[in-house]
Amino acid sequence: MAATREDLYYNLIDELMKCPNGQEPEVLSNHEDLLDEGFIKVLMKVATMMAHENNQDGAKFLIHVARELSKALGLYPEASKPSPTASES
């Protein structure tokens, strides 16, 4: 049976959690086909589960990865840019 895309996301998260410190960019670059908004959503879901299981370090790590990927993919709003609603109010 073929793995679903979500299964592949979970496998990549597992690989990230197990890789030596500093090897994360290499792991991610080996799976560029999975680096999308769906992966970021699964990262945040797993980070939330970890936080609820008192694994704060794991949760913080995954949130950091999600934030950096969001920036790289243009999905994370830059703090320096004023939002359109802020100038309208």
User: In Å, how far are 7, 12, 15 from 1, measured between CA atoms?
Assistant: 12, 18, 21
35 sits in which H/E element: none
User: In Å, how far are 30, 43, 55 from 17, measured between CA atoms?
Assistant: 15, 11, 12
3-state secondary structure of 74: coil
pTM for the whole structure: 0.80
Q: What is the pLDDT of residues 19-72, one digit of tens each?
A: 999 999 999 999 999 999 999 999 999 999 999 999 999 999 999 999 999 999
